[in-house]
Structure 1
Amino acid sequence: MTDTALITDAEACAPSTSRAMGRDAATAVAGTLKSLADPLRLRMLSAIAADPRGEACVCDLAELADVSQPTISHHLKVLKETGMLLSERRGTWVYYRIAPARRAAVTALLDAFAPAATLDAITDDAERAEALQAMDGRVTRLAEELADELSDLHRDLVTAIVRESYAGLVRSAKLTRHLIPLTERFARQRLADLTRDRETGVPQVLFVCVANAGRSQLAAAIANRLADGRVIARSAGSTPASEVHPHVRSLLAEIEGTPGAETAFPKPLTDDAVRAADVVVTMGCGDVCPIIPGVRYEDWAVGDPALASPDGVAAIRDDIEGRVRGLLAALADGRNRP
């Protein structure tokens, strides 16, 4: 081997330090993360972010834990010093809100990283990879069966939707043995969205959050139960999780029954779903939804049941149900139809 080859190999193995985070930036980020490395501070940040008023006072946050008000104030001061919060005194109380410059970071932390960190990791990557490798033939057969059944649609369209649906689910699916039936359900939903007649169809609502493992699943289930067929509610996630959170699955069992809860699964957000909806309700997912003419958009600041206590989960459920009732009433008299 020549010296040139040796140098080339060494260069190939060298880390790309030029792409690493700068020292000052790393120091600043580390300081922020250190300020967040406390369960009570994270709960307070979550409560402020989810408050419908966009802010919360010390008296509200004191209910999160059995600690003194000075302790609550100390934790809030730490979050404020790192730039996460802004504060304003009104009378005897101080109100806190998320700093606008940090809102995207807080959303990413609470709606993407935190739920993912609470879910079980896949334990056998080799087994999963082997199962996925054997799945291609089954996906092909599913596409052929659906194309035969839905003969009024072009076969190439059905095949493409089936394969896209599978690809969207496989990125996050935790249990490969369920992928084919989940792919079929997701593909059928997408094909129904593509062929929906907006003028004569039943009103349709799409609930969107980040992981589609909590809020949006719960909202869609409540809406479908209350509407009793007068409105169709669906849900999706901008970055779907591998499974519905256990807290939410137990609530779905109360709302839909055990079979419905067991078959619930996180679904990726698609343009088709947005285009087919009369109303799109975003729930902490930021600006990820495509803006489609003729679709009405609402944003609900709702807490994440995946991160809440049992009492908090019940309160979130009640909050969502109240909002859903208002939305259904508006749809009934045409106020929320585009």
Structure 2
Amino acid sequence: MTASTPSRTELDLTCTPQVESHAIDTGVAGAVATTLKALAEPLRLRMLSFIATAPAGEACVCDLAALTDVSQPTVSHHLKVLRDVGVLTSQRRGTWVWYRIAPGFKGAVSTLLESFAPASLASVPESHHMVGLTDADASLDRLSESLALRFPDVRMDVVRRIVRESYTALARSATVSVHLLTLTERFARQRLADTTRPVDAKPQVLFVCVANAGRSQLAAALVRHYAGERVVVRSAGSTPAADVHPGVRPVLAELGAGDDVFPKPLTDDAVRAADVVITMGCGDVCPVLPGIRYEDWLVGDPALASAAGVAAIRDELDARVRALLAGLLPDLDLHVLDVTSPDLPA
């Protein structure tokens, strides 16, 4: 008796494991996923498009900063991400670094921009908007007018630009919009103060980490704790988080940190105004300017640390801050930090 050929329905109900896998290798999949993750950011895709279509096939940070209202250090951070996964190559010429698409990625980038992007746009759902105010323009205009009165030496158009840049930068990482205007006022006021810093001003220190949600905030709070108003201290992040790490907040409160403690993006104004710039894991995103002292502190990240870990990071920062202030203010009384409070992790 001749066996009948199984029907399509019968085949569909049968699952037979394949002897030879047709799937991509696990290691290759991991490498591709890492690259795709680096590309999955709107500004980075715009940068790739700009570089790919530039007449010379290359661009520097100043060219790419014109694409948006973010600062050059933020642009440098995004370029570093693309360079780390091999999509971009870089070459320093004088004081500027020029970026090109790596030879091995030219075809892939071309396919991404010319084929994949149009196909994605054809099925994109309704656009998502940044968290922000319903009537931002009117509120930002009023804030600009108020700050212009406090900084009469700054042109009104400059005040408006700084206010709107500050709002846009904070809105990108904001999780709650109700306080966004207040945070914008504080951030813009700080930036305006940096642009009008007198020559004989107090020493100014800038702490920079990636998220501005832990290490840099702690270091800035320690400087304020010891030096008070004798030192102007700022903190910023190359990719600021939405909020300060919960485990860090009790320590900041013990050090007397006020309402101005919120993650802020790194700006060129803050770097130019600083006498000392201290980075913690993101040194290459800071522009190197003459006359500024740079240090890189290798300090642990408290983001996922236990209470004991946060305390250890605080203690290490405390020792470094006291050494820093001993050089900036030799006459300052640098008592050892009191950590006996029950509210502070021991």
User: What TM-score comes out, normalization by structure 1 length?
Assistant: 0.60
Match of 2:31 in 1: 29
Paired AA for residue 184 in structure 2 = T
2:186–2:260 CA contact under 8 A, matched in 1? no
Q: Deviations over 1:112-153 (max 9, x none)?
A: xxxxxxxxxxxxx99985753432321121112222343232
Q: CA RMSD in A?
A: 2.9
Decide which moves more: 23-32 or 184-193: 23-32
Change (3 A) 1:130 1:246: closer
1:12 alignment counterpart:
none
- Tell me which residue corresponds to 2:282: 285
1:330 CA displacement: 1.2
Which one is further off, 145-154 or 213-222?
145-154
Code of the aligned partner of 1:324: V
Alignment CA distance shift 1:129-1:301 (3 Å): closer
Q: Match for residue 65 of structure 2?
A: none
Aligned to 1:308: 305
Give CA-to-partner distance per residue, 1:261-301, whole Å, 9 cap, x none.
Answer: x5411000000000000000001114000111111000000
AA matched with 2:275: D
SS at match of 1:228: helix
Find the residue that maps to 2:179 and give its secondary structure.
helix
Bigger radius of gyration: 2
Distance 1:332 1:142, change over 3 A: same
Letter in 2 for 1:26: V
Provide the C-alpha distance between the structure 2 equivalents of 1:271 and 1:213, rounded to a whole number of angstroms. Answer: 20
1:114 aligned residue: none
Structure 2 contact 131–177 (Cα < 8 Å) conserved = no
Task: Give ranges in structure 1 of 5+ residues lacking alignment.
Answer: 1-21, 33-103, 106-124
Query: Does the CA contact (< 8 Å) of 1:162 and 1:187 recur in 2?
Result: yes
Q: Distance in 1 between matches of 2:33 and 2:152?
A: 60
2-side partners of 1:130 and 1:305: how far apart? 27
Q: TM-score normalized by structure 2?
A: 0.59
Cα pair distance change 1:28/1:163, threshold 3 Å: closer
Is 1:238 the counterpart of 2:235? The answer is no
Distance in 2 (CA, whole Å) between partners of 1:278 and 1:215 is: 19
The structure carrying a bigger helix percent of its residues is: 1
**Partner in structure 2 of residue 297 of structure 1:** 294
**Would you say the 8 A contact 1:128–1:176 is kept in 2?**
no
Letter in 1 for 2:234: R
Are 2:131 and 2:172, in contact at CA under 8 Å, matched by a contact in 1? no
Partner residue, 1:174: 175
Q: Deviations over 1:27-71 (max 9, x none)?
A: 453899xxxxxxxxxxxxxxxxxxxxxxxxxxxxxxxxxxxxxxx
* Fraction of identical pairs, as percent: 59
* Amino acid corresponding to residue 316 of structure 2 in structure 1: D
* Distance change >3 Å, CA 131–CA 328, structure 1 → 2: closer
1:212 matches 2:212:
yes
**Aligned residue number for residue 142 of structure 1:** 143
Asked if 1:202 corresponds to 2:202, the answer is yes
Question: C-alpha distance in 1, partners of 2:207/2:33?
Answer: 35
Distance in 1 (CA, whole Å) between partners of 2:272 and 2:330 is 22
Correspondence list, 1:22-101, <5 A: 26-27=28-29, 29=31
Which 5+ residue runs of structure 2 have no aligned equivalent? Answer: 1-23, 35-83, 86-125, 332-346
Q: Which amino acid aligns with 1:173?
A: A
Structure-2 change in CA distance of 1:25 and 1:156 (3 Å): farther
Secondary structure, aligned partner of 1:294: coil
8 Å Cα contact 1:238-1:285 kept in structure 2: yes
